[in-house]
Structure 1
Amino acid sequence: MAMAEQKNDKPQRPTPAPRQRGGWLSKIAPGVRGAFAKRETPENLWVKCPETGEMIYRPDLEAALWVTPSGHHMRIGAAQRLSITFDDGKYEPIVAPVAPDDPLKFTGDKPYADQLKAARKAHNQQDAMAIGYGHIQGQPAVVVVQNFLFLGGSLGVGAGEAFIKAAQEAVKRQVPFVIFTASGGARMQEGTLSLMQMARTTLAVNEVKAAGLPYVVVLTDPTTGGVLASYAMLGDVHLAEPNATIGFSGRRVIEQTIRETLPAAFQKSEFLVERGMVDKVATRAEMPAVLASILKTLMMGRERLPSAA
């Protein structure tokens, strides 16, 4: 009992005061911590180069048009492409007709309808193609951009409708038609309906050419499958970004079929220039000037309709 009483008589340590949030910076400069809230710091401030693995400061990469120091042209979205192509980033968006969603009620690992919904929310566009009308260094043109980030830029009914609408607008306005391709091919979730777009887009290209208007294709990474087998190879002029993969079947499939090892640069844009499949390779920064020069030359001597001015 005496021992217990002695223990109870031992002085108690004072309870420490609650720690102030914000530390020393909040004490000397109240409010500073709130000005640098964590939510205002971008999570992706550094971007890894897919080619070299180098970490690149995002603002620097954006200023370089998403071209890394090694020269690798990263894939970009439709809005970015239209913005860097047209003068001062200004253009008139053209809305494509709305196509039926999930016509075959396709379900694989994930329902196709859910895939469409997620892609539309992520990229703020109806389908894999976006259309704009504006001027490229003073030259008017209708430009359609295939967004590889939207379900691999695959060609389905929605993309087919957008392409046809863009071609019709070019004829209506009497201006050149330009497309930036980027696709893994036809959209398997739409089966034969997707393959039908190859014929429909080819007929739309024929209408542009019948009107005496230029059709210029810019091949970006990657352009493959049914897209390459249709409108991507029907241009009056074919341009390409550096080191873009351009081909119908994949390299591995071809090697297994012919049982030979293909050249290291096989299906790359520079390789295809040497063999006449592509007319010129131009960097992303050079592309507007190259396009403007080609469009001006191809439209030389042609009178535009008053309604298209």
Structure 2
Amino acid sequence: MRSWNQTVLLDFILMGLTDSAEMQLALTLLFLLTYLISVLGNLGMIMIIYLDHQLHTPMYFFLAHLSFIDLSFSSVITPKTLVNLLTSTKSISFLGCFTQMYLCIFFASSEICLLSAMAYDRYVAIYNPLQYPVIMSSRLCCVLVIGTYMIGFVDCSFLVFSIARLSFCNSNVIHHFFCDIFPVLALSCHDTFANEILVYICGCSTLLLSLIPVFWSYVSILSTILKIKSTSGKQKAFSTCASHLLGVTLFYGTTIFTYLKPKKSYTLGKDQVASVFYTIVIPMLNPLIYSLRNKEVKNAFFRVVKKTGGFWQLT
């Protein structure tokens, strides 16, 4: 049997989501619209936060990095998926496949940890508002963000390099729309038990490292909100956390469903839907969730539009 291994840069074939021409056209239009909204939403969020000095606070510092991660995450997956849907050639090189896998794991792990840092930020803002500027200093914010990227780097390096060392002889056809971990492992002619254990170790450690602060932060936030006597005060405090809690639930739920389960329970249809959700849909939803429910972002948008409109009139 011919061996497809790392010594020769051969192509993999991405089977995609469907063989139906009608469905491929519908998915192309849907994914293209989703990607355009994602790019405009996340890039717009970054620009608004950068241009409006009133948003130069820890909360929006983290939100700008979340938008950067979502924009990058979506760009790693969606353009290649659109090309595969529009053309009959669905190949991806060995190097391209593992580069895509590397970046996917990096951005997914970084986002998980960044959501944890954002939960801690909301905890400090509600539990100790008077000391908030002191506790959430620029130095601490930078350390937290750098830490999220470092954890993402460690996760993707361990996982991808361990998988890239395998030989692939069963087939070169990946039954997925991108180079995800388990569909690629299924092509190996070696025992992948050690690789699966490493996936679970990295996934569980990263999730626990982030879920514990999230859970602790929101339990403390809830107890603090319940102590507020005025109804308007409770609503204001809860509104500052509702968007983040929704984002956490969506992203954590889909990633846990996809990766932290036995390989035998992997089902192509359900896992593809979950993958579409966290790689393509959530990067589009996050800027909408954080902007539509946030008056500060809306006001900043109008200030930036007014400022840039005046600039263009002068020029």
Question: What TM-score, normalized by structure 2, do the two folds share?
Answer: 0.30
Question: What TM-score, normalized by structure 1, do the two folds share?
Answer: 0.31
Higher relative contact order (CA 8 A, sep 6+): 2
Structure number with the higher helix fraction is 2
